[in-house]
Structure 1
Amino acid sequence: MTTTSTVEHPRADGSALHLTFAQPVGAVRGGLVVLHEADGVTDGVRLLLLSLAGEGWLTVTPHLDGDDLTQQDLLDATDATLAWLGDRGVQADLIGVVGFDLGGTAALVVASHRRLGAAVSVGGQRVAELPTLVEIAGRLTSPWLGMYGDAGDEAGGAEVEQLREAAASAGVVTNVVHYPGAHHRFDADPAAAAEAWQRTLDWFDAHLR
């Protein structure tokens, strides 16, 4: 049975980054970096790790400080996590990133600064230390799927269309999906949640191969 484990991964500056990961049973198809919400590595994040591991992905989340997260902090932590996956034999073109809420914004930032096999953002929110979504979507360097609802989400309605246009100008494969009337995490809409989950799996299936 797959479980999650937490380790300390040493970094070049002598500090340690806590990583929580789930190893699939059987062959590893590739690696996924999961960028968590502002609440940290919750039971929900661990469930996500397990669910993705059940699909054959070695999944890992770096423990980030959501309150004071800067872009450089995010990129440094992601780089260390990518190195951890590389140390376990995962090839660079078989690595993707996925994030929800704060992690959704973080995944877009990473996908615009690092060349990965694929990236997925589910929802996003304005964070003082991170750029707004539309500002960075045009600089994407990795295939990116963004999925957004309305309620409580900065990227609702017209802004989703702006985001789609900006992403389309980036020169990589992108897709922006809008769920009108749905909560930004789709928790209150089981049908939207199921579709978003399948879209996520399909995106990684298509690009990490």
Structure 2
Amino acid sequence: MKTEDNMAQKSAGGGFAPAVQPTASTTIFTESPDIQFGETSVPSQGENMPAFFAKPKGAESALPVVLVVQEIFGVHEHIRDICRRLALEGYLAVAPELYFREGDPNEYTDIPTLFKELVSKVPDTQVLADLDHAANWAARNGGDIRRMGITGFCWGGRISWLYAAHNPQLRAAVAWYGRVMGDKTMKQQKHPIDIAVDLSAPVLGLYGGQDESIPLESVEQMRQAIHAANAKAEIIVYPEAGHAFNADYRPSYHAESAKDGWARMLAWFKQYGVAPSA
């Protein structure tokens, strides 16, 4: 892995969302001759959904699959790099552009406007169906969806919880600082705390103790909900980390927590049958 000094070498079509520029000096860019990656198109609900994929070079079949769900900023360079990191671990990673019907996150320069004018307009039901089609694309392109996991960050963390109650084929989910409760709308009719009883895949939730946008009280309520539902789920809270602690391109990055969370994610996938064969 290389840091921001080497970002000039990043993949075509890369770059970070304008709403989070400038990027931090801790920004990581992963490169290796052992992986291949690029843009693709996923047929979904009558349209072609843009997506980014990464996988081990030369591997054409039987790859475990990880669906990677974006932050509110779309599939920008950080999410692409998450895919590359997973490819180095032996996965076929696919990150679909889940806002493509509603708009382009790159057209927004501040987070509040991005959330109000774009993110809030994306229906959960549409997102879950698009992820199903991304899984089908993976199955047609060398993936073994009998060994499928999902991971997501912030907005994508919440979606990862929901997907674990949506797709019975999913083997495991890892949700990074995803909101677990909140106001309900026509577009977002349920939150993770509402579907704890419906979880069909084990979920690992990773949260920051200093996260001002996700109160620890809500995280504790989620713990109680999964305990009451007897669900296979675990929540880890990093006391010194805030929101987006894995986002190495932002000032919120907390390297120690991010490293531990990544290791726990890989172990979770291995424990529940997603990991590559030894």
What TM-score, normalized by structure 1, do the two folds share? 0.90
2:174 matched residue in structure 1: 120
Deviation at 1:3, TM superposition (A): 4.0
For residues 177-196 of structure 1, the aligned pairs below 5 Å read 177-186=236-245, 187-196=252-261
Shift of 1:29: 4.2
Whether the 8 Å CA contact 1:118–1:204 is kept in 2: the answer is yes
By how many angstroms is 1:171 displaced?
A: 4.2
CA RMSD of aligned residues (A): 1.9
Question: Aligned-pair distance for 1:170?
Answer: 3.6
Q: Which residue of 2 aligns with 1:54?
A: 88
Show structure 2 runs of 5+ residues with no match. Answer: 1-32, 100-118, 246-251
Matched, 1:8 2:37: no
For residues 37 and 195 of structure 1, the distance between their equivalents in structure 2, rounded to whole angstroms, comes to 20
Other structure's SS at 2:146 match: helix
Tell me the secondary structure at the aligned position of residue 23 of structure 1: strand
Q: Structure 2: how far apart are the matches of 1:101 and 1:206?
A: 24
The answer to whether residue 203 in structure 2 is matched with residue 144 in structure 1 is yes
| Mapped partners of 1:100, 1:24: distance in 2 | 23
**Cα offset for 1:152?**
2.9
Q: Residue 24 and residue 169 in structure 1: after superposition, are their counterparts in 2 closer, same or farther (change >3 A)? A: farther
Matches of 1:188 and 1:10, distance apart in 2: 35
| Distance apart, 1:166 and its partner CA | 1.2
Do structure 1's residue 17 and structure 2's residue 61 form an aligned pair? no
Deviations 1:55-81 (A, max 9, x none): 000000110113422111111111101
Question: Given the alignment of the two structures, is residue 72 of structure 1 paired with residue 125 of structure 2, yes or no?
Answer: yes
- The runs of 5 or more residues in structure 1 that have no matched partner are none
Aligned partner of 1:100 in structure 2 is 153
Q: Secondary structure at the match of 1:18?
A: strand
Give yes or no for contact 1:138–1:168 (8 Å, CA) kept in 2. no
The offset of 1:148, in angstroms, is: 0.9
Partner Cα distance (2:80, 2:144) in 1 = 24
User: What is the SS of the residue equivalent to 2:56?
Assistant: coil
Structure number with greater Rg is: 2
Shift of 1:47: 0.7
Give the distance between the partners of 2:63 and 2:220, measured in 1 at CA.
Answer: 33
Q: Is the 8 A contact 1:23 1:53 kept in 2?
A: yes
User: Are 1:38 and 1:67, in contact at CA under 8 Å, matched by a contact in 2?
Assistant: no
Q: Is the 8 A contact 1:36 1:61 kept in 2?
A: yes
**Equivalent residue, structure 1, for 2:111:** none
Counterpart amino acid of residue 48 in structure 1: I
The aligned length equals: 207
Residue deviations 1:30-71 (CA, integer Å, cap 9, x gap): 000000011111110111000011000000011011342211
Distance in 1 between residues matched to 2:229 and 2:67, nearest whole Å: 22
Q: TM-score, normalised by structure 2?
A: 0.69
In 2: Cα distance, 1:164 partner to 1:68 partner = 29
For the 8 Å contact 1:25–1:54, the answer to whether it is kept is no
Q: Counterpart of 2:265?
A: 200
Cα shift readout 1:6-28 (whole Å, capped 9, x = no counterpart)? 112223x4311112100113556
1-structure distance, mates of 2:134, 2:121: 19
> Quick check: 2:63–2:144 contact (8 Å CA) kept in 1?
no
CA contact (8 A) 1:111 1:141 kept: yes
| 1:34 corresponds to | 68
